[in-house]
């Protein structure tokens, strides 16, 4: 099958790849661009660990056809830190012990970033709502919710 | 329709590790010429924090800063043998092996330092900041790095240690069936409060209150993380998860995360935890293990809370709305039990 050329912005950098028809964005990011931060969990939108931002909106990359991001901006966990400095959400996740095995963490961080980008001071209920499409096996969610609230309040609080 | 509140309690006496084959784990500790130490293990850290805890144990035993210890885990091709990460055995079994290995390595390090400082090794102590000095004379001092270099390039010594922890195998008494399956027990007690809907059979968690006795908490934040997450895993087992929803008929089982039910962030409840520390005589620095026991008391406590709320006794897991509803119907309606 003929491959299709595809150009988009990946974490602020223009990339150009060739994709097979039907390739999903998760595969394009991991296998063609080499960005391993979005994880493959269920492959059908049930777990949230493949979450990325497309033009600032939260999307499940495993359910997104790669060709639909042509000319758009895709942001992954790999792009959220500022040089050597962790993003405030990453810092808060570490400080609040919000990761154990870490497999859900990329999706949790992207879901949390999507929330804080549009609502910098969310309520607890809004944080719960924002990460409700993401499954975590280890933490019991409480430390993750606390970490997002701590990041929102400038990383001071340990709720 | 009515929503009934109920409260249930459960206590567990949890054996750390197991007795099969003595349940051994090994550790090797060696210094590099940089004066930093490597702990080699086959044990795997799945996120529980065993790497952090064994690092602390090694640093404390050697008398060096924790930053000077690197833990290399989870290569069973090249690492010393470990039974695995299960049964809450990591901190206790692996920690004891690391402690033994670090103690032996410390002995060699102190001998090498003694040779450099021309004193008796028994007169030396570590300052925990990377130096070894003569007791009462801190100016007679040498850094662990210089000791490592001297051992490597001058004295021809390997600053290293071997450690194994093996529980003596307990045979079964043929007369009484008595045996000692474990040498170390942790304890927990948990009160669960639930709300049961007698029209839908749904069970909502309202709150949990618990006390966990786990020896000494070597890393209190990691212990808290285990207890919070583990208790929630217990709720998940009690009310949601099963690979065999139609057991013993395996067809129509869940095939993926969409069909395999797990609670989401909107299903959690407040959980107030008290950590009780009673150091274990055979634990590394008194530690037992906070792993599996976090989840265990939750299941019976939730089952008891449901009985307290609507008077039905469900004894197979998970306690799904269907099971609750069928049991309520079978007894002709909800029968709330007295709350104590």
Q: Do A142 and B48 touch (CB under 8 A)?
A: no
Q: What's the helix, strand, coil split of chain A in %, to 5?
A: 35, 20, 45
Chain B residues with CB under 8 Å of A45 CB are: 258
Chain A residues with CB under 8 Å of B268 CB are: 140-142
Q: pLDDT band at residue B167, thresholds of 50, 70 and 90? A: confident
Q: Is B255 on the interface with A (CB under 8 A)?
A: no
Class of domain B1-14+181-329: alpha beta
Q: Is B1 on the interface with A (CB under 8 A)?
A: no
Chain A residues with CB under 8 Å of B232 CB are: 139-142
Q: pLDDT band at residue A159, thresholds of 50, 70 and 90? A: very low
Give pLDDT, residue B259: 83
| A21 min Cα distance to partner chain B (Å) | 25
Q: Is B338 on the interface with A (CB under 8 A)?
A: no
Q: Which of residues 27-66 of A touch B (CB under 8 A)?
A: 41-42, 44-47
Q: Is the pLDDT of residue B62 over 80?
A: yes
Chain B residues with CB under 8 Å of A105 CB are: none
Give pLDDT, residue B252: 81
> B32: part of which helix (H) or strand (E)?
none
What is the rounded average pLDDT of the residues A6-22?
Answer: 96
pLDDT digits (tens, 9 = 90+) for B81-126: 998 888 899 999 999 999 999 999 999 999 999 999 999 999 999 9
Number of alpha helices (DSSP H) and beta strands (DSSP E) in chain A: 5, 5
Q: Do A140 and B256 touch (CB under 8 A)?
A: no
Q: Which two tokens stand for residue B229?
A: 């997450």
pLDDT digits (tens, 9 = 90+) for A104-147: 999 999 999 999 999 999 999 999 999 999 999 999 999 999 99
Q: What is the C-alpha to C-alpha distance for residues B51 and B139, in angstroms, rounded to an integer? A: 34
Order of strands across the sheet that contains B124-126? B124-126, B131-134, B137-143
Chain B residues with CB under 8 Å of A44 CB are: 256-258
Q: Which two tokens stand for residue B167?
A: 């529980």
Chain B residues with CB under 8 Å of A46 CB are: 256-258
Q: pLDDT band at residue A155, thresholds of 50, 70 and 90? A: low
Nearest residue in A to B226, CA atom: A139
Give pLDDT, residue A105: 97
Q: Residues B236, B239, B241, B243: is their CA dihedral positive or negative?
A: positive
By the 10 Å C-beta count (0-12 exposed, 13-18 middle, 19+ buried), B337 is classed as: middle
| B224 min Cα distance to partner chain A (Å) | 9
Calculate ∠ Cα B15-B21-B22, nearest 5°: 50
| B281 min Cα distance to partner chain A (Å) | 29
Cβ(B125)–Cβ(B137) under 8 Å? no
Q: Do B222 and A97 touch (CB under 8 A)?
A: yes
CA-nearest of B184, B207, B183, B181 to B194 is B207
Number of alpha helices (DSSP H) and beta strands (DSSP E) in chain B: 6, 11
Cβ(A99)–Cβ(A80) under 8 Å? no
Q: What is the C-alpha to C-alpha distance for residues B300 and B298, in angstroms, rounded to an integer? A: 6
B1-14+181-329 and B21-165 in the same fold: yes
Calculate ∠ Cα A112-A54-A124, nearest 5°: 15
What is the rounded average pLDDT of the residues B11-26?
Answer: 87
Residue with tokens 């055979």: B282
Nearest CB to A101 within list B46, B233, B262: B46
Q: What is the C-alpha to C-alpha distance for residues B219 and B52, in angstroms, rounded to an integer? A: 8
Q: What is the C-alpha to C-alpha distance for residues B290 and B192, in angstroms, rounded to an integer? A: 19
Q: What is the pTM of this model?
A: 0.91
Q: Is the pLDDT of residue B318 over 80?
A: yes
CA-nearest of A27, A11, A14, A15 to A74 is A11
Q: Taking the domains of chain B in order of start, what are their residue ranges?
A: 1-14+181-329, 21-165
Ramachandran area for residue A91 (φ above 0: left; ψ -120 to 50: alpha; else beta) = alpha
Chain B residues with CB under 8 Å of A144 CB are: 265
| ipTM (interface pTM) | 0.89
**CATH code matching the domain that covers B21-165, chosen among 1.10.1270.20, 3.40.309.10, 3.30.365.10, 3.40.50.720:** 3.30.365.10
Count of residues making up chain A: 159
Give pLDDT, residue B20: 67
Give pLDDT, residue A158: 44
Cβ(B130)–Cβ(B64) under 8 Å? yes
DSSP output for B172-227: PPTTT------S-EEEEEEEEEEEEETTT--EEEEEEEEEEE-B--SSHHHHHHHH
| B210 min Cα distance to partner chain A (Å) | 15
Q: Is A139 on the interface with B (CB under 8 A)?
A: yes
Ramachandran area for residue A102 (φ above 0: left; ψ -120 to 50: alpha; else beta) = left
How many CA atoms are closer than 13 Å to the CA of A135, on its beta-carbon side?
18
What is residue A53's three-state secondary structure? strand
Q: CB B263: neighbour CB atoms within 10 A?
A: 20
């Amino acid at each position: 099958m003929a491959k299709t050329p595809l150009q988009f912005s990946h974490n602020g950098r223009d990339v150009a790849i060739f994709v097979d028809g039907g390739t999903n964005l998760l595969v394009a990011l991991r296998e063609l661009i080499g960005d391993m931060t979005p994880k493959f969990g269920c492959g059908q939108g049930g777990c949230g660990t493949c979450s990325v931002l497309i033009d600032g909106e939260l999307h499940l990359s495993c359910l997104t056809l790669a060709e639909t991001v042509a000319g758009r901006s895709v942001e992954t966990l790999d792009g959220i830190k500022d040089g050597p400095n962790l993003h405030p959400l990453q810092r808060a996740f570490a400080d609040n012990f919000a990761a154990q095995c870490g497999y859900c963490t990329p999706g949790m961080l992207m879901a949390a970033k999507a929330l804080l980008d549009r609502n910098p001071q969310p309520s607890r209920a809004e944080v719960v709502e924002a990460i409700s499409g993401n499954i975590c096996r280890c933490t019991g969610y409480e430390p993750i919710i606390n970490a997002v609230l701590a990041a929102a309040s400038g990383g001071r609080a340990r709720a | 329709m009515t929503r009934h509140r109920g409260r249930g309690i459960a206590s567990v006496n949890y054996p750390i590790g197991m007795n099969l084959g003595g349940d051994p784990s090994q550790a090797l500790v060696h210094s590099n010429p940089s004066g930093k130490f490597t702990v080699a293990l086959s044990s795997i850290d799945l996120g529980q924090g065993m790497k952090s805890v064994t690092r602390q144990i090694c640093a404390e035993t050697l008398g060096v800063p924790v930053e000077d210890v690197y833990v290399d885990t989870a290569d069973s091709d090249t690492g010393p043998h470990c039974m695995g990460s299960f049964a809450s055995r990591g901190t206790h079994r692996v920690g004891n092996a690391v402690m033994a290995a670090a103690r032996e390595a410390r002995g060699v390090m102190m001998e090498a330092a003694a040779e450099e400082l021309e004193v008796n090794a028994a007169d030396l102590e570590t300052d925990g900041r990377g130096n070894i000095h003569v007791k009462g004379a801190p100016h007679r001092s040498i850094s662990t790095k210089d000791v490592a270099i001297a051992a490597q390039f001058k004295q021809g010594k390997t600053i290293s240690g071997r450690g194994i922890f093996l529980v003596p195998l307990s045979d079964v008494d043929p007369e009484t069936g008595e045996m000692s399956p474990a040498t170390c027990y942790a304890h927990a007690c948990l009160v669960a409060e639930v709300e049961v809907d007698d029209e839908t059979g749904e069970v909502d968690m309202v709150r949990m209150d618990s006390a966990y006795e786990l020896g000494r908490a070597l890393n209190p934040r990691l212990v808290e993380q285990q207890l919070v997450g583990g208790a929630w895993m217990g709720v998940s087992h009690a009310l949601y998860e099963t690979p065999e929803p139609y057991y013993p008929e395996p067809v129509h089982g869940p095939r993926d995360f969409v069909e395999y039910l797990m609670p989401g962030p909107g299903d959690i409840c407040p959980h107030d935890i008290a950590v009780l520390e009673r150091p274990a005589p055979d634990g590394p620095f008194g530690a037992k293990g906070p792993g599996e026991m976090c989840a265990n008391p939750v299941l019976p406590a939730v089952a008891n809370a449901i009985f307290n709320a609507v008077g039905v006794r469900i004894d197979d897991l998970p306690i799904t709305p269907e099971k609750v509803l069928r049991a309520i119907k079978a007894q002709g309606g909800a029968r709330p039990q007295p709350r104590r």
